[in-house]
């Protein structure tokens, strides 16, 4: 039998704790945490009485760091348990097949902002008023369930200029580049250091019929600045990575990827990390024009001075 590729972690808690537990799991689970509430049918006439127990779960990819990840997750849950008692997390290794089936059952279309609808390839489009962005929730980052991705998509809707190019650093599944093109951008440069992300971006771009407008490149900030791709700068640049990486990039000339007066959207930032990211952005002569937040996650929009 194939080796297990995913480790399911689940906790059954009361409604009150579900959000806090989901937030903790979300820090370790790239593809989204499922919060499953249940109902009981107490008699024949009962149309479903909500129970106060909720199963919160998700899947951690099994890689060489799995034990370290599991330990960090246990520690994070332990911290939470100091505030309110928690049950022990239950771990169960899963095979890809199970994972996909489990995932498909729980993946629903996600409306974002005023215009977009993120949906997996196998679901028929239901809402004809929204622009569909089809993402195969395979293994690459960026399925649309993460708050950071959602914040970026909302900001994208606000800041994208019709016909102008965008640069997407750390493209993952390609979700932001695909959405940008669907919102009117003429060209998106999508780069990532992970070859699996680049494959995912190409496949998702093709599934959305926008592969001609998306340039997929392996690399990072330095490669863009060094002119390895067709554009070096754009009026809109997106980077949904993680605060320490963003800070490093701000020290390496991230602002130079912006056309004069351009907008930079940064995400993957936790509330408590804002001041450090902002200090680096200010040193790079950027000023904050908007901040959006979902739970602990924030996205920041900057403009060149």
For the bound state, the minimum distance from the C-beta of residue 194 to ligand SAH, rounded and expressed in Å, comes to 4
For the bound state, the minimum distance from the C-beta of residue 211 to ligand SAH, rounded and expressed in Å, comes to 17
Q: How far is Cα 194 from Cα 196, in angstroms, rounded to an integer? A: 5
- Pick one of 80, 86, 131, 245: the residue that binds ligand SAH (CB under 6 A): 245
For the chain, list the strands marked E by DSSP. 6-14, 34-40, 49-61, 90-94, 110-112, 116-119, 131-134, 166-169, 188-192, 214-218, 234-240, 258-270, 286-294, 297-304
Residue 194 touching ligand SAH (CB under 6 A): yes
Kindly tell me which of 55 and 291 has the beta carbon lying closer to ligand SAH: 291
Q: How far is Cα 151 from Cα 301, in angstroms, rounded to an integer? A: 10
- The stretch near ligand SAH (CB under 6 A) out of 4-12, 56-64, 164-172, 258-266 is 164-172
Residue 241 touching ligand SAH (CB under 6 A): yes
Query: Of 216, 207, 303, which is closest to residue 259 (Cα–Cα)?
Result: 303
Q: How far is Cα 235 from Cα 212, in angstroms, rounded to an integer? A: 20
Structure tokens given for 301 = 């929009």
Q: How far is Cα 12 from Cα 55, in angstroms, rounded to an integer? A: 4
Kindly tell me which of 69 and 240 has the beta carbon lying closer to ligand SAH: 240
For the bound state, the minimum distance from the C-beta of residue 26 to ligand SAH, rounded and expressed in Å, comes to 13
Phi first, then psi: what are they for 277, rounded to 5°?
-65, -45
For the bound state, the minimum distance from the C-beta of residue 145 to ligand SAH, rounded and expressed in Å, comes to 9
Phi first, then psi: what are they for 268, rounded to 5°?
95, 20
- Pick one of 22, 94, 167, 176: the residue that binds ligand SAH (CB under 6 A): 176
Which residues from 92-151 bind ligand SAH, rule CB under 6 A? Answer: 141-142, 149
Structure tokens given for 48 = 């479903």
For the bound state, the minimum distance from the C-beta of residue 137 to ligand SAH, rounded and expressed in Å, comes to 11
Q: Is 203 in contact with 188 (CB distance < 8 Å)?
A: no
Structure tokens given for 196 = 């699996």
- The stretch near ligand SAH (CB under 6 A) out of 60-68, 190-198, 227-235, 254-262 is 190-198
Q: Count of residues binding ligand SAH (CB under 6 A)?
A: 18
Can you give the binding site for ligand SAH, defined by CB under 6 A?
141-142, 149, 152, 169-172, 175-176, 192-194, 197, 220, 240-241, 245
């Amino acid at each position: 039998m194939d080796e297990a590729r995913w480790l399911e972690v689940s906790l059954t808690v009361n409604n009150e704790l579900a959000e806090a537990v989901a937030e903790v799991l979300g820090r370790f689970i790239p593809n989204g945490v499922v919060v499953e509430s249940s109902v009981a049918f107490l008699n024949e006439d009962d149309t479903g009485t909500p129970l106060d127990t909720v199963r919160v779960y998700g899947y951690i990819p099994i890689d060489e760091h799995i034990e370290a990840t599991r330990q960090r997750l246990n520690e994070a849950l332990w911290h939470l348990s100091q505030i309110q008692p928690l049950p022990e997390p239950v771990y169960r290794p899963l095979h890809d097949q199970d994972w996909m089936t489990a995932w498909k059952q729980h993946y629903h279309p996600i409306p974002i902002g005023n215009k977009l609808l993120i949906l997996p390839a196998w679901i028929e489009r239901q809402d004809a008023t929204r622009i569909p962005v089809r993402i195969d929730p395979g293994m690459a980052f960026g399925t649309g369930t993460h708050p950071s991705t959602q914040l970026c998509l909302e900001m994208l809707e606000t800041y994208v200029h019709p016909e102008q190019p965008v640069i997407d650093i750390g493209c993952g599944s390609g979700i932001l580049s695909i959405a940008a093109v669907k919102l009117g951008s003429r060209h998106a440069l999508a780069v990532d250091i992970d070859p699996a992300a680049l494959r995912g971006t190409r496949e998702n771009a093709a599934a959305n019929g926008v592969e001609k407008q998306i340039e997929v490149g392996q690399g990072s900030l330095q490669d863009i600045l060094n002119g390895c791709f067709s554009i070096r700068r754009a009026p809109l640049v997106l980077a949904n990575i993680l605060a320490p990486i963003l800070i490093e990039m701000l020290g390496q000339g991230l602002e130079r990827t912006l056309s004069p007066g351009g907008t930079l959207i940064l995400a993957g930032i936790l509330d408590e990390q804002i001041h450090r990211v902002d200090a680096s952005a200010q040193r790079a002569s950027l000023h904050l024009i908007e901040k959006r937040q979902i739970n602990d996650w924030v996205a920041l929009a900057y403009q060149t001075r």
